A and B are shown apart, each in its own frame.
Chain A
């Protein structure tokens, strides 16, 4: 290794960033070269000065200023009392229950086209479930087919004019 090659690697050597072989080669060069050895000492001293003076933390107190700025940017939270919270929760729950009940009643009260139980798979169970939500979901296609037949025969009319 010549002086130019050693000089290019000296900073890395001082910082311990060379692999073992390169480090060994640099040290071998330094053992016989006073000029490069002096440069290595200067790099060590530079690091020392950097550590000692560059980032020396000055007396700082920005603590209060930071907290004041955070307080400025954070809107005050509205405090909701326990009683208010309970009442609001109860009201919301009641609304949900009433809504569900009304929807179910409306659904079950709507007319169901008669379909012969014998024509369905499931027999007696299907008869028991007739008119319920389960029954309607399962047999809506049957009802639509029946309505289409009635329309074709002129036995039924759509509530709007197309």
Chain B
């Protein structure tokens, strides 16, 4: 059975570098995905993710498994994002990842093209949302965090996290509808 995050953190605190390696391999994709949607830049997201793991390593002896490890990890990442966002706010790009993801999911080249286009447009709609809604939507829908955990990551109250989620989803629906992505014809199933 694979070691839990907390077990890996315990091992890391005794200087076990393999534990750090396992933590990075386990969380790098999720973290870079989250940060890419916040930053709008894959390069900036990778830099922030590296910095996040570095902070995790530096804080290994202070880590106390009070909640889920991912809550702590994403709290560090989100705070780094807040601290550095001015530096890259102008560099929003759509990178290679869309092509790779679409190609992986689609059965044929034509389907891959359609999938890629859909992904791009959904991401554009999300990127166009006000910043207060984006992280809540991502943490709730992708990381399946509770409102309490989201509140801990964002440094707000649980109720504020819940309200932002409701408003963010309502706003996203309007944006997707305007983009023509809510027609039944765009269904993937």
Contact = CB atoms under 8 A, between A and B. Distances in A.
A66 B163 CA distance: 36
A57 B42 CA distance: 11
A15 B36 contact: no
A49 interface: yes
Interface stretch (B23-31, B65-73, B82-90): B23-31
B106 interface: no
A69 B28 contact: no
> From DSSP, what is the main secondary structure of chain A's interface residues?
helix
B136 to A, nearest CB: 11
A113 B167 CA distance: 88
A2 B105 CA distance: 42
Interface string B87-99: 0000000011100
Contact of A51 (B30, B141, B166): B141
Q: How large is the interface on A (under 10, 10 to 19, 20 to 34, 35 or more residues)?
A: 20 to 34
B169 A61 contact: no
A55 B49 contact: no
A66 B141 contact: no
Q: How large is the interface on B (under 10, 10 to 19, 20 to 34, 35 or more residues)?
A: 35 or more
Contacts, number: 129
A43 B170 contact: yes
A53 B42 CA distance: 15
B54 to A, nearest CB: 5
A63 B22 CA distance: 9
A11 B166 contact: yes
Contacts of B170: 10-11, 43
B137 A54 contact: yes
Contacts of B188: 52
B30 A69 contact: no
B32 A57 contact: yes
Interface of B: 17, 20-21, 24-25, 28-30, 32-34, 36-37, 42, 46, 49-50, 53-54, 57-58, 95-97, 100-101, 118-119, 122-123, 126, 137-138, 140-143, 162, 165-167, 169-170, 172-173, 176-177, 181-182, 187-188
Interface of A: 10-12, 14-15, 17, 39, 42-43, 45-47, 49-63, 65-67, 69-70, 73
